[in-house]
Amino acid sequence: MIKPNTLLFLDFGGGEIIIILLVILIVLGPDKIPEFARKAGDIMRFVKKATDDIKTEITKETDAVQQPFKSAYDNVSAFSRNAHEAMKATLDEIELEDSEEKINKKKTDKVSLDDIDKEIKNEKKKAIKDIKGEIKVEEQDEDLNP
């Protein structure tokens, strides 16, 4: 079964590596193997350095491309944060105004309750005077009609 992420030409097993080493030994001979290994190491270092340079160059270029996007993101984030703070301050102010209105309404309600209380007391006094007046009239009627 073929794996989709496996490079087929780099898929070496232990047997293939031994065969390659035997072929190198036969072709180069034991005298040239250390020199070949040195050159192979130099080539590997050169390839590694080249790939590192390419990675560095790509990173620099992508950073240059990403910088405007990062700047725009930071600006949008700052704007969003400022808008959120302004909205919160406005809502707090509205809540404060509502609270003040409720307090003023309660004061107004209290004044009107005090006025009602005074009116009830006045009505009570009038009713008591009327009752006392009726009692006096009845007493006078009783005095006149024994």
| Torsion-angle region of 145 (φ positive above 0: left; ψ -120 to 50: alpha; else: beta) | beta
Give me the number of domains the chain comprises. Answer: 1
Asked if residue 101 belongs to a domain, the reply is yes
Angstrom CA distances, 20 to 11, 26, 47, 104, stand at 13, 10, 21, 96
Query: Which residue shows structure tokens 């390659």?
Result: 20
Asked if residue 7 belongs to a domain, the reply is no
Rounded CA separation 46/65 (Å) = 29
Asked if residue 6 belongs to a domain, the reply is no
Asked if residue 2 belongs to a domain, the reply is no
Asked if residue 88 belongs to a domain, the reply is yes
pTM attached to this predicted model: 0.38
Asked if residue 5 belongs to a domain, the reply is no
Convert the pLDDT of each residue in 5-56 to its tens digit. Answer: 555 556 778 888 889 888 888 888 888 888 888 998 999 999 999 999 999 9
What is the residue range of 138's domain?
Answer: 15-144
Predicted pLDDT at 137: 63
